């Protein structure tokens, strides 16, 4: 697999099939990127399990924190690594040693370890490096344009919630790399009308 670029179908398939995600390296601090990503994915219906040895036994966003992957009492579909690149290999080794290996090892933005990726792939695990599942979910679901970013209308107002909390959106929408979405079509029509 070429880890410099990933086809949308590869990322979309992962986000559509995984249900339980263990986030290794989550911070309990609300201003940290790991906290934002954890909260976002939790609100989209994923079962999120925080892993941080310094927080073990406590809770983050109502979810019990575990010291390591082996301490989690249920199988996980994906391990999302929010640690520096030099700490990836031990996490991958631990994931491979689990009674039921995860389907995916995902390394966050700025995190890359080609040797760890090769080891995981040799064990039959899909690997994504230097990407954020929160960003990829928003991009592939067209949720980013849904809240106004791609429509050229930016607002500080919060987007309306769909029912109780935010519902998981469809990841089967085409993106700019694969075609237009309804939001981009509307934005283009508005721009054309404004130019007249």
* Residue range 99-119, pLDDT digits in tens: 999 999 999 999 999 999 999
User: Is the confidence at residue 192, as pLDDT, over 70?
Assistant: no
User: Tell me, what's the pLDDT at 170?
Assistant: 58
Give per-residue pLDDT as tens, 55-109: 999 999 999 999 999 999 999 999 999 999 999 999 999 999 999 999 999 999 9
Arithmetic mean of pLDDT over the chain: 84
Question: For the chain, what are the domain ranges?
Answer: 8-132, 141-195
Q: Going along 30-116, which residue ranges are E strands?
A: 47-51, 59-60, 63-64, 78-81, 104-107
- The order of strands in the sheet holding 126-128 is 47-51, 20-24, 78-81, 104-107, 126-128
User: Tell me, what's the pLDDT at 64?
Assistant: 98
What average pLDDT does the segment 162-181 reach? Answer: 48
Q: Is 57 exposed, middle or buried (0-12, 13-18, 19+ CB in 10 A)?
A: exposed
pLDDT band at 175 (very low <50, low <70, confident <90, very high): very low
Global pTM value: 0.76
Cβ contacts of 135 within 8 Å, gap of 6 or more:
109
Task: Look at 52-56, 79-83, 176-180 and tell me which has the smallest mean pLDDT.
Answer: 176-180
**Nearest-CA neighbor of 65 among 104, 25, 37?**
25
CATH code linked to domain 8-132: 3.40.50.720
């Amino acid at each position: 697999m070429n880890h410099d670029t990933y086809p949308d179908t590869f990322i979309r398939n992962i986000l559509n099939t995984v249900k339980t995600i263990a986030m290794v390296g989550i911070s309990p601090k609300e201003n940290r990127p790991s906290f934002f990503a954890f909260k976002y994915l939790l609100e989209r219906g994923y079962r999120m399990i925080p892993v941080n040895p310094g927080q073990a036994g406590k809770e983050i966003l109502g979810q019990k924190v575990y010291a390591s992957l082996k301490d989690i009492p249920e199988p996980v579909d994906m391990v999302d690594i929010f640690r520096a690149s030099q700490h990836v290999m031990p996490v991958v080794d631990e994931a491979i040693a689990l009674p039921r290996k995860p389907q995916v090892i995902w390394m966050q933005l700025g995190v890359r370890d080609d040797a760890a990726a090769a080891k995981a792939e040799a064990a039959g695990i899909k690997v994504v490096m230097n990407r954020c599942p929160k960003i990829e979910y928003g991009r592939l679901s067209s949720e980013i344009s849904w809240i106004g970013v791609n429509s050229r209308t930016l607002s500080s107002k919060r987007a309306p919630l769909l029912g109780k909390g935010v519902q998981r959106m469809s990841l089967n929408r085409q993106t700019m790399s694969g075609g237009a979405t309804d939001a981009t079509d509307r934005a283009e029509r508005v721009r054309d009308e404004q130019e007249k």
